[in-house]
Amino acid sequence: MLTPELVNALLEFREARDWEQFHTVRNVASALSVEAAELLEYFVWSSDQQVPRVVEEHHAAITSEIADIAILLTYLTHDLSIDIQEAVSKKITVNEQKYPLEKSRGSNKKYTDL
């Protein structure tokens, strides 16, 4: 997760450019989806065996896409007053109940099919 200093730097960057007016929750969520798709573009049509080569060849661009995703997620969690640490912690607890170890270990089944 990003440090408070880095979050503040992102917020200051956005504020200085008066971009908050464009960063509605819907727009930021949409942009997050687009950036995730741009990340996926590096891997589409690659076999699992080809992925290491793709990562090596496009590491800088992949890193940039991941940074874009992190930035947008930071804006979204800030604007919605979501504590990402708390949200992830709660989600782990929920997932532990949905995917009990004795049923889910080594399985790729959805919790409804365990």
Query: Tell me, what's the pLDDT at 33?
Result: 98
pLDDT band at 21 (very low <50, low <70, confident <90, very high): very high
Give the pLDDT of residue 1. 81
Q: Is the pLDDT of residue 2 over 90?
A: yes
SS3 category, 100: coil
Q: In this predicted model, what pLDDT tens digit does every residue of 45-97 receive, in sequence order? A: 999 999 999 999 999 999 999 999 999 999 999 999 999 999 999 999 999 99
Same domain, 44 and 58: yes
Please indicate, yes or no, whether residues 52 and 28 belong to a single structural domain of this protein.
yes
Number of separate domains in the chain: 2
b or e along 67-88 (b: 16 or more beta carbons within 10 Å of the residue's beta carbon)?
ebbbbbbbbbbbeeeeeeeeee
In whole numbers, what is the pLDDT of the chain averaged over residues? 97
Could you tell me the two tokens for 109?
Answer: 């089944």
Largest Cα separation within the chain, whole Å, is: 52
